[in-house]
Amino acid sequence: MERKNIVVPQEALDEQMEYCRRVRSFIAPGENPLAFVDTYGCQQNEADSEQIRGLLQEMGYDFTEDESEADVIVINTCAVREHAEMRVLGNVGALTHTKKKKPDQVICLCGCAMQEPHMAEKIRRSFRHVDLVFGPHVLWKFPQFLFEVLTRKKRVFSTDPCDGNIVEGLPVVRQGKLKAWVSIMYGCNNFCSYCIVPYVRGRERSRDPQRILDEVRQLVEEGYKDITLLGQNVNSYGKDLGLNMDFADLLKACNDIPGEFLLRFMTSHPKDATQKLFETMASCEKVAASLHLPVQAGNDRILKVMNRHYTRAEYLDQIRRLRELIPDIVLTSDIIVGFPGETTEEFEDTLSLIEEVGYDSLFTFIYSRREGTPAAKMPDVLTKEEISANFQRLVARQNEISAQKHAAYVGKIVRVLVDGTADDPEFPLTARTDGGRLVHLKGDEQLIGGFYPCKITHASNWTLFGEIAAEKEVH
């Protein structure tokens, strides 16, 4: 099936680059305008912020971490849980003070929460110091919006609903020198009943594989060592392209790019994680032996009302098959506690599932009601206190499991990528295992950027400590 052309045409991007030049022309010689970019939420938002920084740099801005001295502030928001939205509103409210001291400061809000009509409306009405609001679908028009704010001195709002598009070739300023995100697809078609993402990020659409491979190749040439392929549901990659290429094929093609680097990906939906994917992971030496496979709940009735399309038994069978192929795979997951109607007995099925799987770590969330989703209309059976008690039980049990997993590393030799420095004279370096575990390491800064075998000497609850096992780099 050929999809209709949803790639933003080059002429439209050229026009935005022209806006960049026009904004840059406002800068007087010797002036050094500063921008502050703050990001909430997931890695997709981090990747979007790297493009926002890229556009800002193109417009002549340098960056600051101090919002009081910034000429432009951009807050990239998240809509997944109410808590993140409340934090944004609190922080945006506080910006009235910085703007009072610096009246020309331009305040911009973008990202998923701005694509929710009630949030955009709230900003329009009650946060009058915000100059510019735009949703994720029109991020690429940021230069034009900023130009309009600067020249017309009036507020700009661009948050129309949209199924989504694909933009290639935007400038990026990456945050790290070793770790990089590569978006391979955007949007989500799954409509899990609790989740706002499909409403704000639009339908699934995959980037052209050649563009992805070119980007990965370039990153490797630039010295990036830890590359994560990103998408709301990477296992759906390619379904809309009609190219006979699925996610496992893309992963294999990335693995075939010459160079020494580690490949990761997220997020995988269990309903689409195929045996072919597991076999590809096992046979590709650059693909990290780790998988984030969000289960959300361990009870079949709850999984059904969540619209997840798998059962507990099917999920556990996947884990069993994966471990047959990759015995030391590092497994992580997302769990929601307190989904509407979940009883404590049903919650206990989640407890027994995490026990059975033995995850290395978990991302645990209390259910948050999202306006416009089917679950928002479902009634609760537990009180807030009961949900909170269940949540505490889950966290406590996982902490024990994680601690056991951590302790089991002691004495082992694992490969790590040395990625930075730590404030610890005895273990001055930080490193990550292939499975993403943090290691504090003995050694000097010259090691940063290399893969080394590392002997784990001891472990705390959250950190492993170790030393290089041999002088030679792992190849």
Residues that bind ligand SF4 (CB under 6 A): 188, 190-192, 195, 197-198, 232-233, 269
User: Which span sits near ligand 5AD by CB under 6 A: 30-38, 311-319, 361-369, 403-411?
Assistant: 361-369
- Taking the complex as a whole, the smallest distance from the CB of residue 334 to ligand 5AD amounts, in Å, to 3
Specify the residue, 171 or 341, whose C-beta has the smaller distance to ligand 5AD.
Answer: 341
- Residue number, 74 or 375, with CB nearest to ligand SF4: 375
Short-list 36, 25, 54, CA closest to 91: 36
269 binds ligand 5AD (CB under 6 A): no
370 binds ligand 5AD (CB under 6 A): yes
Q: Which is nearer to ligand 5AD, 190 or 402 (CB)?
A: 190
**Residues 299, 300, 302, 307, Cα dihedral to 10°:** 140
* Cβ-proximal residue to ligand 5AD, closest one: 334
| Strand partners for 330 | 290
- As a whole number of angstroms, the distance between CA 132 and CA 162 comes to 19
* 8 Å CB contact between 336 and 394: no
Amino acid 97 reads: H
Does residue 294 interact with ligand 5AD by CB under 6 A? yes
Q: Spell out a b/e string for 109-128, using b for 16 or more CB atoms within 10 Å of the CB, else e.
A: bbbbbbbbeebbeebeeebe
Would you count residue 368 as binding ligand 5AD (CB under 6 A)? yes
Bridge partners of 34, per DSSP, are 62
The SS3 assignment for 202 reads coil
- Residue 191, binding choice from ligand SF4, ligand 5AD, none, Cβ under 5 to 8 Å by partner class: ligand SF4
Answer yes or no whether residue 367 interacts with ligand 5AD by CB under 6 A. yes
Q: Smallest distance from the beta carbon of 194 to ligand 5AD, in angstroms?
A: 4
Of residues 294, 282, 184, 275, the one with CA closest to residue 234: 184
* Span near ligand 5AD by CB under 6 A; candidates 16-24, 310-318, 367-375, 405-413: 367-375
Which of ligand 5AD, ligand SF4, none interacts with 449 (beta carbon under 5 to 8 A by kind)?
none
CB of 368 to ligand 5AD, least distance (A): 4
| Partner in contact with 188, chosen from ligand 5AD, ligand SF4, none, beta carbon below 5 to 8 Å by kind | ligand SF4
Pick between residue 33 and residue 298 the one whose CB is nearest to ligand SF4.
298
What residues between 308 and 337 interact with ligand 5AD by CB under 6 A? 334, 336
460, two tokens: 């705390």
Long-range contacts of the stretch 244-247 (C-beta < 8 A, 24+): 245/209, 246/274, 246/276, 247/184, 247/277
Contacts of 215 (CB under 8 A, 6+ apart): 182
Determine whether 262 is exposed, middle or buried from the number of CB atoms within 10 Å of its CB (0-12, 13-18, 19+).
buried
SS (H, E, C) 399-437: HHHHHHHHHCCCCCEEEEEEEEECCCCCCCEEEEECCCC
At closest approach, how far in Å is the CB of 298 from ligand 5AD? Answer: 13
Nearer to ligand 5AD, 194 or 310 (CB): 194
Min separation Cβ 379 and ligand SF4, Å: 21
Q: Is residue 81 a contact residue for ligand 5AD (CB under 6 A)?
A: yes
Q: Give residues in contact with ligand 5AD (CB under 6 A).
A: 80-81, 194-195, 294, 296, 334, 336, 365, 367-368, 370
